[in-house]
Structure 1
Amino acid sequence: LKQSSLPVPNFTPQAGDEVVLNYLYDRSLIIAPNAEVYNQVVEVFSNITFVHPDLVGAMLSMDYKPNPSQDDFRRACALNAAGLIFIALDGKSMFVDCGSFSILKSFKSGQIAQYHLPFYTRVRDINTVFWKLDGEHINNYDKYYRFLLNTDENTGKIESAK
């Protein structure tokens, strides 16, 4: 908690303590390139509750952020009580941990013909403002998200992912 007035517990783990693994792994953000892929993913993974991408799109629109960062996704996960992010790329899809951005499970997937940037959402015009130096639009969906996941050979500057 970001509250300095609350007491901070000072204890260490002991025998008999319970550990909760995969906390909130039944809720996931979904980053899909278009409505067709979004609908396929939601249908295939019916045991997961997907947070609608419009919620994340609205957050980005309010922040004038057309290029979401790992921190933006972490914030969206915290606001929506999600532990996972599902990211669909061309030829590969994966579940990613919200906190660490580690790839937990990847799948071979089909080719993508059409992209909606920065991802599928019904929120129109996620724009930037001139004073945000890091507010560039994404030009290449796959390259950008591979860069965020550190799965691209090119791990140089963020400009290389646009």
Structure 2
Amino acid sequence: MKYIILILVLALQLMAGVVKSPLISVDEQNGVATIKIDKIDVGMSGFIAHNISKEHSVILKNVVVSSYDSNSKIATLKMSPYDALRNNALPSGRWNVTVGDTAILAFGYTRGLLIAPNNDIYHRITKSVKNLQWVHPDIFATILSFNGHPTPLREDFTNFSIATSVGLAFIYLDKKLFTVDAKSFKILTITDAQLKQESTQLPFYTRVEEIDAAWWGEGSSRLDYYEPYYYKLLTEANPDNKELQKIVNNFKPEASK
């Protein structure tokens, strides 16, 4: 157990802190920009800030690290519209992303949400990791209930990340802990976690007794199986992750509690 947590703490330390780097190229037509940085993880999300003056700046785009060349130290960022702040009363500018604007990545990586199958695993992991502010899954469950989603959708994780400034989501599946960017749902690390799982609470451990369901629509059905569903969410967001593919292929559904 100590070995497992040591690896997790080390991974968190490597990802801790907001990463800032100026853009060295911009391709607005294809929606990409690049930065030069010593180390970065593919899948990290963030945004691009543009300085209006010495004291003021504006956020122009969301970004996700789509690729990284360790030889050239060049990271490619995929841009998308910034949607974290919505207020029709606020004026909108006409600024374009330009070289020299600042990419701000790993924002919110000091706050995490843990999806665990039961109370014991949840508390064993969260109590062992001290360098992270854990946001309780009760809050996530309450939001799911408001949206009528007893089965959490990927968009629920994204919206939860935006609403609570949670940058990391951790999902415990079949003796492994997946660390993902809460907005992009891209896998950052996969850690062995040999914890005994004696029971499973659906859709995840929470003290909320029941998550309300909508009359119809995606996410309105009750979750029947824990591991297969979260593996499905991870696979859809990480189709090229070979380590994940190997884990999923070796997973035995009948072992799912």
TM over 0.5, shorter chain = yes
The aligned length equals 152
Q: Higher RCO, 1 or 2 (CA under 8 Å, sep at least 6)? A: 1
Q: Normalising by structure 1, what TM-score?
A: 0.84
1:14 shift after superposition: 3.5
* Aligned equivalent of 1:40, options 79, 100, 124: 124
Residue 115 of structure 1 aligns to a residue whose secondary structure is: coil
Pairwise CA distance, 1:105: 1.0
User: What amino acid maps onto 2:135 in structure 1?
Assistant: V
Q: Which runs of 5+ in 2 are unaligned?
A: 1-84, 236-243, 250-257
Residue 93 of structure 2 corresponds to 8
Distance in 1 between residues matched to 2:163 and 2:135, nearest whole Å: 11
Q: Distance in 1 between matches of 2:169 and 2:186?
A: 10
1:86 is matched with 170
Which stretches in structure 1 are left out of the alignment for 5+ residues?
155-162
The yes-or-no answer on 1:149 pairing with 2:234 is: yes
Q: Post-superposition shift, 1:55?
A: 0.3
Q: TM-score, normalised by structure 2?
A: 0.55
* Percent identical: 33
Matched, 1:55 2:135: no
Residue of structure 2 equivalent to 1:76 = 160
- Bigger Rg over Cα: 2
Indicate yes or no: 2:201 matched with 1:112.
Answer: no
Question: SS at 1:29's partner residue?
Answer: strand
Secondary structure of the 1:44 match is coil
- Deviation of 1:127 (Å): 3.2
2:151 paired with 1:67:
yes
Q: Distance in 2 between matches of 1:75 and 1:18?
A: 24
Among candidates 8, 20, 42, match of residue 104 of structure 2: 20
Query: Any conservation in 2 of the 1:29–1:77 contact (CA below 8 Å)?
Result: no
The whole-number CA distance in structure 2 between the counterparts of 1:19 and 1:127 is: 39
Question: What secondary structure sits across from 1:46 in the alignment?
Answer: coil
Which protein is richer in strand relative to its size? 2
Query: Aligned with 2:142: secondary structure?
Result: helix
Amino acid at match of 2:213: T
